[in-house]
Structure 1
Amino acid sequence: LVGYMAPIPPEDAEALIKQGYDPAFDRIGVDGIEYFLNNELAGKRGSQLREVDVAGATIRQLEQVDPVPGQNVRLTIDVELQKAAEDALRNELTLLNSTYKKVVSQQGVIVAMNPQNGQILAMVSYPGYDNSKFARNIDVNYYEQVVSDPLKPLINNAIRSLYPPGSTWKLITASGALQENVISPNSVLDDPGRLVVENKYAPNDPAASQTFVCWKRDGHGLINMIGAIANSCNVYFYQVGGGNPDVPKVTLREGGLGIEDLFRYATAYGIGTELGVELPSENRGRMPDRTWKRVLYGENWSTGDTYNAALGQGYVNVTPLQLVSMAATVANGGTLYQPTIIDSFLDPEGKVVQPFTPHVLRNVNIDNLTGTLKLLLVEDMIMKGPDSLDCICESDSPYYNGVRCNPATYRNTVDLSVNQDGSDIRDYQVFIPQNYTFNAQMCTPLRFNDKYRPAFVSGSNIDIVRQGMRAAVTVGTATKANLPYVEVAGKTGTAQYCDNIANGLGLCKFGSWPAHAWFIAFAPYKNPEIVIAGFIYNGVEGSTWALPMVRQTLEAYYRLKNARAGIAPPPAADSIPLPATPVPTSTPTGG
């Protein structure tokens, strides 16, 4: 997270000398915030130009450039909460491995965020490394140890690594399905435990069909949207995601949400784009579609692909940071903020010279669309192609247009009407994160689509998703996250996967795939002030292994909050009775 300093490498020397660095004496940031804000933290050297005699004595001073001291930066990270989150993650991994009496996992992530402004309160990527070993002179032996470690502790998995999100993704599918009127919130679908898809070329051959199962083998029966979120019903979300020809069209839209609309809503929540956190090498994540699969694999998209994508499986991959940002957007009612670890910049005397200002990346809530819209850079690229800001502002691009390259004043237009007939033309702008590097390689007609319509969700539909998350904690798959002193909402996720590591270990077995563990939660339910995402690589099951460490981090947050306010600590969660009330089959009124 913080990174470390190191001598200037030879390959960077020429460029840095032009910036005033001296490779013989100066050190630069190599990773983390030290790298990202290297110029701001370093300041600038001063210089003197003097005329001297043969003995080296100064005759006169010709020129002097005063040094510019570097700024200090105050981070948003709560050190005590960071420690509590790391302890919770370490302890959960220890318990997981001891329970199975073997090494099941040695990797995990916890990210905590303020959903009202995007400030990151804790970011733990385990295993990490001890940057104090690099404080002055790099410990060569230690460096070689971490570089050769197969767990790659130098990589911040919270922002750089991609994982299938599993059932936590159902929040995006639910948002799209409700907004596109795929299904009404009160309508129920049957979950008998499986959904069988016939092969259209051999409809009478059962052996050619494909079966998609629910985690609950005997199914959930008749269930509505809130119940499906609360109980994480796979078969329900298969149907709303990809359709079911056996369900009347009056109940379920033919074809379900479909991959095109799922792509739109995933993009609206920030999947497939850099969110702009002030750390290097942030991964964009991946939301696939028909074109992506055809180009990469030379294959057509199938209904099964849509079913998998609707559940955050298959080709869908995200970073933990993207997942916590998505959850924060749902929690706060529909505003996607730029995640940030910078609270303020300070001068050498400790005076704030640049306070933190929240930056809105995207308006997701359609009820909040007043004035100029905020859309994402990737949406601008999809709609405008060579006319997008990402193309015209890259000096190496053939589309370069310096006149329009001020991100603060850049404007474009989008048609929000369903029929794309020019009846609802709106101005929009995109926010450019600090140190963003424009990428001319994105200037390709592959994504250019002037009929693309950005997705928005109504406040009432976002609230239904929130109600489902609250029901998950009170009566669903996340009851172990229930706390007596604050209303918690959450969503479990168990994401099957098969990467190179699992395949090499022989874990990828059809019908018994290995799985990652996820849990996302926010609190308080009615006015959220913290969102937490927890992830354990190969963690078996979300509610069993990811949930407890998120709950412990949440408990630590309130314990610290009370202590700082001089209030008695909240009670422990161990004695909380778990409610046994059935999940409602109709949409509750109110929050």
Structure 2
Amino acid sequence: MNERELRLRLRVLQAALLAIAVVFVGRLAYLQLLRGDVYRLRAEAQALKRIVVHPVRGNIYDRFGVPLVESTPAFTISVVPAEFPLERTPLLAMLLELPEPWLRKQLQEARRAAPFVPLRLVRDAEFRFIAAVEEHWTELPGVQVEIEPKRHYLTQLRLAHVLGYVREVSPQHLEQLGDRYRPGDPIGHSGVEASFEPFLRGEKGYRFVAVDALGQPVARFNEGRSDIPPQAGFDLYLGIDAHLQQTAEQLLEGKRGAIVALDPQTGEVLAMVSKPDFVPDSLSGRKAVQYFPQLLSDPERPLLNRAIQALYAPGSTWKMLVALAALQEGLISPQTQLLCAGGFTYGGRLFRCHHAHGSVNLRRAIQVSCNTFFYQLGLRVGLDRMHQYGQLFGFGRPTGIDLPGERGGILPSRSFYDQRYGKGRWNEGGRAVNLGIGQGELSVTPLQMAVYAAALGTGVIRQPHVVRAIYNKRTQQLQPQAYAEYPVPIRAEVLELIRDAMYDVVNTPGGTALSAQLPGIAVCGKTGTAQNPHGQDHAWFIGFAPRENPRIAFCVLVENAGFGGAVAAPIARELLRSFFFRASPEQVQLPPPQRSGNL
């Protein structure tokens, strides 16, 4: 090889080395300058973490499409117990203004039960807590700030016992529900929030991220292509009329009791109020920690839905059922007259009436609420028939409303008395006399009485319900809900006579509810004053309007208020005024529902 060839080869080698160097430097510059952040994050990442993305809970609307409840984003501070060193507990407690012993106990219990499930410490966190955590994040491994949906109530309505509230799932719920819920998950605890929880809650999503040694996210895994998006919950459309509901709440403010208004043609609940009540917004977010214990300890029991859970003697509102049974069975005729001299003596005991009404027929007896007439009629009807007809109208069992916790009341039977007092140790006649005016062991809910009033007006028992339809966000269809109904097996002329008598109660001189008159509207109703062994009598008024093709049926119950005609009837009048004399918006149109014949 001569010198010339050697130089040529050397130059080729130099050029090749230079090209390699240029490529190497170029690649290094690309990695450092353009992709440096990506590879730095990958280098810092120690593991993959699956982060739960909570779905947006479904919204709730009234019958006219007025929004009642929605979900809004809120910050939650949580900690993964397995990643958090317990010696940092004092710092975390100080930053979040939490009691250190309580926080340490929570962390220790979570480490044993679910060490890798985030323990939520502060929901709806204020910005100052977020800033404090971010400032000390290097000292707080496993502590994270999440965005979760929070329930927000959009109107001035309470609707507390209808809507219910959402809280963290309890340990008892977790045992029953299995893997769909983890500690800290929100769940409906009462009202439609509870009974329609499977529809409202949606489906969780998951986000996969790379985390560093402190458990802090540093990069999205696979650029987010492996993430599973959450699915939003379905929306509910209620039968509630927000305007009527607001009126009912105002009418019962400062009292104890309940108001229920139904559409007698469908069974939809137009309004339902129980007082005292609570503020649903205060059970959502950070206020709930202090507010909920106050509700539990309140002697007025604001969490109790008196419309479906409290039991009362129906008093004179029961008299129409006794009258129906007597007429249907042929025990009396519309012309039958019974004497009222101010009371009725049976078994050596005087059962008193509030007046001496003289000789009265059935229609007049209902109009003036003559106890003496119904003492005698109760005796003729007897215990067994009264139980039979009570069952026809749904007493003694829950109505089947789509709200949790409904009670069925007590409809006394022969076996009931045998069990309570022993066979042969109770007086059947005396019990029938007392039941004739709706007293004794008989107990009902205000909702049952509203259903009873609706059935008297239409001749049909319809299952009461709050939810009209569910909006399926996956199919984008509004799905009407099906509910049961059945005709009451009472002759038409019998029902007509009862309606005439209830019309007289409100509109004919001498009636006990003249204070419920509403010009231009034929209101039919019945007052009741139920004896209360624990204090002043309870005031009832039930009814429907108008007389022909009724559009609303109602029950008003005011605890310890005295006479139904003086207290409950005027409340009902104002409720009806709100319903009939206002311009109503167009309600949401639904496809025709499929109805069932059984309750």
Above 0.5 in TM-score? yes
Q: Distance in 2 between matches of 1:148 and 1:188?
A: 53
CA contact (8 A) 1:487 1:523 kept: yes
From 305, 314, 322, give the equivalent of 1:165: 314
Which residue in the other structure is 1:295 paired with? 419
Letter in 2 for 1:495: A
1:187 shift after superposition: 1.3
1:285 shift after superposition: 1.1
Q: 1:133 to 1:194 in 2, by over 3 A?
A: same
Which residue in the other structure is 1:233 paired with? 370
1:23 shift after superposition: 2.0
Deviations 1:24-59 (Å, cap 9, x if unpaired)?
Answer: 4x200011111111111012224699999x999968
From 448, 464, 472, give the equivalent of 2:505: 472
Q: 1:214 to 1:352 in 2, by over 3 A?
A: farther
CA contact (8 A) 2:439 2:531 kept: yes
From 342, 353, 368, give the equivalent of 1:214: 353
Q: 2:550 aligns to what SS in structure 1?
A: coil
1:185 shift after superposition: 1.1
Letter in 2 for 1:181: G
CA contact (8 A) 1:194 1:211 kept: yes
From 560, 568, 577, give the equivalent of 1:538: 560
Q: 1:59 to 1:293 in 2, by over 3 A?
A: same
Moved more, 130-139 or 110-119: 130-139
CA contact (8 A) 1:344 1:352 kept: no
CA contact (8 A) 1:114 1:530 kept: yes
CA-atom RMSD in angstroms: 2.6
CA contact (8 A) 1:166 1:311 kept: yes
Q: 2:285 aligns to what SS in structure 1?
A: coil
Which residue in the other structure is 2:272 paired with? 123
Q: 1:16 aligns to what SS in structure 2?
A: helix
Which residue in the other structure is 2:251 paired with? 88
1:23 is aligned to 2:199: no
Give the fraction of aligned pairs with identical amino acids, expressed as a percent: 35
CA contact (8 A) 1:290 1:301 kept: no
Q: How does 1:358-377 map to 2 (within 5 A)?
A: 358-360=483-485, 362-364=486-488
1:363 shift after superposition: 2.4
Using structure 2 for the length normalisation, give the TM-score.
0.66
Q: Distance in 1 between matches of 2:298 and 2:222?
A: 58
Q: 1:267 to 1:64 in 2, by over 3 A?
A: farther
1:517 is aligned to 2:539: yes
1:354 is aligned to 2:479: yes
Which residue in the other structure is 1:111 paired with? 260
CA contact (8 A) 2:472 2:479 kept: no
1:11 shift after superposition: 2.5
Letter in 1 for 2:523: V
Q: How does 1:122-161 map to 2 (within 5 A)?
A: 122-161=271-310
CA contact (8 A) 2:251 2:571 kept: yes
From 156, 168, 172, give the equivalent of 1:11: 172
CA contact (8 A) 2:343 2:352 kept: yes
Q: 1:137 to 1:276 in 2, by over 3 A?
A: farther
Q: 1:85 aligns to what SS in structure 2?
A: helix
1:352 shift after superposition: 4.2
Per residue, is there more helix in 1 or in 2? 2
Letter in 1 for 2:389: Y
- Equivalenced residue count is 416
From 461, 465, 484, give the equivalent of 1:340: 465
Gapped runs of 5+ residues in structure 2?
A: 1-161, 587-599
Letter in 2 for 1:212: F
Deviations 1:67-103 (Å, cap 9, x if unpaired)?
Answer: 443211011111111111111122xx5xxxxxxxxxx
Deviations 1:238-291 (Å, cap 9, x if unpaired)?
Answer: 11110xxxxxxxxxxxxx110100000011101011111111110001110221
From 62, 74, 81, give the equivalent of 2:237: 74
Using structure 1 for the length normalisation, give the TM-score.
0.67
Which residue in the other structure is 2:570 paired with? 548
Letter in 1 for 2:299: P
Moved more, 170-179 or 297-306: 297-306
Q: How does 1:83-482 map to 2 (within 5 A)?
A: 83-90=246-253, 106-198=255-347, 209-216=348-355, 219-242=356-379, 256-298=380-422, 299-332=425-458, 334-348=459-473, 351-360=476-485, 362-364=486-488, 456-475=489-508, 476-482=511-517
Q: Distance in 2 between matches of 1:536 and 1:51?
A: 61
1:63 shift after superposition: 9.3
Q: 1:544 aligns to what SS in structure 2?
A: helix
Letter in 2 for 1:556: S
- For CA contacts below 8 A with separation 6 or more, give which structure has more relative contact order: 1
